[in-house]
Amino acid sequence: MTDSNPTQQQSEFLASLNSQEHAHNHQLNQFAKDYVTLSLGVGEHSEYFVDAYYGPEEWRPTGDAQSLTSLTQDIKTLCELLTGGDIAADSFLYQRHQFLLIQSKALLFYAQQLAGQTASYERECELLYDAKVPFFDEVYFDDVLRSLDTLIPGEGELNKRFANYRQQFIVSPSKLSTVFDAAIEEARKRTLARIDLPTNENFRVELTNNQVWSAYNWYKGNSYSLIELNTDHPIYIERVIDLAAHEGYPGHHVFNALIEKHLVNERGWLEYSIYNLYSPVSLLAEGSANYGIEVAFPWDERLAFERGVLFPLAGLDPEQVEQYYGIQRQLHRLSYVDNLIAQRWINGDIDDDKACDMLVKYALNSPERAKQRLAFIKHNRAYVMNYNYGQDLVKQYLAKQVADDSHDALWQAFTDLLAEPKTASMMEGT
């Protein structure tokens, strides 16, 4: 909950603006309120749309839900007002204006979808997530599978061989808490050495099941998150650091805490107090959370930590680290399979059975895991591209910001991006 009275930090921020920027900021504050209230209104028609909200309680809808027709018209008006805004490109507030405009256009498109408007996968990527995603077809994935075929030990069909090989890297439920706690502690230590977070930041981890996702961060505001881990399927050792970093440090938990600290609390930009799941900010949220794993754990350091700490805690053979993670690197090249399947399923080119067959063949999923993954794709549609293309785009953007191979500089550029988010087109145009 954000106090309606300006904090000292907000007062200092306002005092730093010149008169023209102060007027623009005041106008954007009104647009921000409209954006938040309209987003909350759309959330009345879509259970999972508003992923987090910690703004003024009085902005929440009361009484009967506003109709989608009425909401759509109000969002159109907001987009028109923002499009007609006249903020110079060299203004301190230009990025705030552009971000709010892009987010509002995505809100309009999502409201139209809820009302029954259909769109292709490509249009969803562009209008919901502000992104034009590269295309990879079966020829690309067949090449990756051939590479994996030479790496995975054993005999027989690749999918079954991989499944058999991978069984030895499952973290037993009795050791999961200990192993996961060690990964979180290390990820937190590495992150806090580089990023100044609020002293009260914290999160709680709970186990759950019967979900289409493997893990979820529910940000509650006041630098606090609830992280849920889905136990429907076994958790393999590589997922431990991935989940600790992606959901926690320096991933979703840190991303939301920095936005709340710098943009909501210090500047009073309340459009950032709401996180619409199906919106352009998700590309950065998921992309930075995935790339943040590599930032916090550079490859050699990750292998050393796996070998020296996590594998022993999990009761796994540390001598297997090099081979296993060599295979994981190749498996990552298959991540764009989700995009191909989402594209063809959304566009009506394949049915559920064909989609599951592709997940089994090209993602090396078991039939059961393929069904769960398809359920996630059907529920979230084009959202799946935020993980892979988002990660690649964040990596490419940060590489342009860092003049040399300095890891300190990479951490700083990464932190700056989290504290002042950019959409895909903003990063692509840099």
pLDDT of 1 reads: 41
How do residues 401-426 score in pLDDT, each as one tens digit?
998 889 999 999 999 999 999 999 99
Lowest mean pLDDT among 45-49, 212-216, 247-251: 212-216
Q: How many domains does the chain have?
A: 2
Average of per-residue pLDDT values in the chain: 93
The pLDDT assigned to 87 comes to 80
Three state DSSP letters for 382-424? HHHHHHHHHHHHHHHHHHHHCCCCCHHHHHHHHHHHHHCCCCH
pTM for this structure?
Answer: 0.93
17 & 78 share domain: yes
Instruction: Please answer whether residues 277 and 110 qualify as being in contact, where contact means their C-beta atoms are separated by less than 8 angstroms.
Output: no
Last residue of a domain, one of 73, 99, 129: 129
- Rounded to the nearest angstrom, the gap between the alpha carbon of residue 28 and the centroid of all alpha carbons in its chain is 26
Give the H or E element holding residue 22: helix 19-43
pLDDT in tens, 323-354: 999 999 999 999 999 999 999 999 999 999 99
Residues 88 and 151 in one domain: no
% residues pLDDT > 90 (the chain): 84
Cβ 240 vs Cβ 195: under 8 Å? no
**Parallel, antiparallel, or unpaired for β 224-230 and 274-276?**
unpaired
Averaged pLDDT for residues 305-320: 98
Whether residue 97 is found in the same domain as residue 144:
no
- How do strand 215-221 and strand 274-276 relate by DSSP bridges? unpaired
Say what the pLDDT of residue 10 is. 77
Buried b (16+ CB within 10 A) or exposed e, 12-22: ebeeebeeebe
- The verdict on 212 and 340 lying in the same domain is yes
SS3 content of the chain, % helix, strand, coil (to 5): 65, 5, 30
User: Which pLDDT score is estimated for 408?
Assistant: 94
Q: Are residues 102 and 172 in the same domain?
A: no
Q: What span, in angstroms and rounded, lies between the C-alpha atoms of 353 and 242? A: 30
Specify the pLDDT at position 208: 87
- Predicted pLDDT of residue 6: 63
Q: Give the mean pLDDT of 49-60.
A: 95
Q: Is residue 92 part of a domain?
A: yes
Across the range 143-153, mean pLDDT stands at: 95
- Could you list the residue range(s) of the whole structural domain that residue 263 is in? 138-428
- 115 with 204, same domain: the answer is no
How far apart CA 146 and CA 158 sit, in angstroms, is 9
Helix axes 138-151, 321-332, angle to 10 degrees: 170
Q: What is the pLDDT of residue 17?
A: 72
Whether the predicted pLDDT of 63 surpasses 90: no
**Cα→Cα distances 415→124, 126, 131, Å:** 28, 26, 22
Give the mean model confidence (pLDDT) for residues 22-28: 88
Say if residue 105 is in the same domain as residue 145: no
Structure confidence at residue 5 as a pLDDT band (50, 70, 90):
low
> 198 and 318 in one domain?
yes
Contacts of 300 (CB under 8 A, 6+ apart): none
Tokens of 86: 């006249």
What pLDDT does residue 315 have? 97
Report the DSSP beta bridge partners of residue 204: 226
* Average pLDDT estimate for 284-313: 97
- Same domain as 297, residue 267: yes
- For residue range 65-113, list pLDDT tens digits in order: 999 999 999 999 999 999 987 787 778 899 999 999 999 999 999 999 9
For the segment 210-241, what is each residue's pLDDT rounded down to a tens digit? 888 888 899 999 999 999 988 888 899 999 99
Where residue 2 falls among pLDDT bands split at 50, 70, 90?
Answer: very low
| Same-domain status, 218 and 277 | yes
Query: Domain check: are 245 and 123 in the same one?
Result: no
